[in-house]
Amino acid sequence: MTVKKIIFSTLTLFFVNGVVGSVAAQQIRPDHGKSPEWLESIAPGFDTIARNPIEYRKVLDKYTAAIVRLSVRECAIVYYGFPMQQGFSPAVPGEEDMQRAIMADDYETAYALGVQILEHSPVNLTALYWTLYAATETRQSWEVRNSLKGRYNSISHVISLSGDGTSPQTAFKVVWNSDMYSYTMLELELTIGEGYLWDERWTEFEVMPSGPGVAFKNSSIFFEVWENE
C-alpha cells in the first residue's frame, strides 16, 4: 500500500457541539465498475435500477416525497446510485455558505441555502443535517422537519450498513467527502485527527471519542468515496 498524508484546510467548516472543525480532503475517484457484493447484498438489482434514469428517478421521487418509509434496498439505490446519474458532481455548491450561515446564527439564510442544495443533491448527508438544524432553529413546520429527519436517518443508516470502518476492506462507503466528516462526528461522535490517503482509494482518519460513553473499535477509521461508473 502507498499512503500520503491529507492536508486539511478551512474550506469545509463544521459546527458540532459548539466546536468548529476545519476539515477538507482530496477527492478520491476510484473506478469501481460493477457494484460489489456488499452493495448487492443490501440492494439486490442495484445496477439495473441505478443505471436506468427513469427507474432511478422513481425511487428518488419516492425518497424526496417522504410519503412512506423506504426500504434499506431503496435507500441504498438512492444514495449509492446518485453518482451514476447525469449531472452528478462531487462538489456541493453552497455547502460552505450554508455552514458559515449556521456559524453566524443566521438560520434563515442557512435554511434557504440548504433547501437549494438539496434540490440538486437530495441525498447529501451533510446538507440534510444542517438543513434540518436550520429548520429546527427557524421553527419550520413539523412536516418539513420530519421529512428532513427521515431522509437523514435513511442515508446515515445505509452508510452504517456499508462497512464498519475498521479497515480498508471494511471501510464505510460515502458519496461525498463531506459525508465522511459528518458521519464520523455526528453519528459516531468521534473527533477527527490527521488523515491519510491509501492507494488513492481509502481515507484513514485518526479518531478519538468526543465525550464519555463514546466507543469505537479502533483509534482510526476508514472511508471510501463511492463513485460507481
Q: Can you give the pLDDT at residue 85?
A: 93
Q: Can you give the pLDDT at residue 65?
A: 83
Q: Can you give the pLDDT at residue 35?
A: 64
Q: Can you give the pLDDT at residue 67?
A: 58
Averaged pLDDT, groups of 10, the chain, 229 residues long: 47 39 34 67 92 95 79 95 90 90 95 95 95 96 92 94 93 94 94 90 91 84 82
Q: Can you give the pLDDT at residue 210?
A: 84
pTM of structure: 0.85
How does strand 220-225 pair with strand 172-174? parallel
Q: Can you give the pLDDT at residue 16?
A: 41
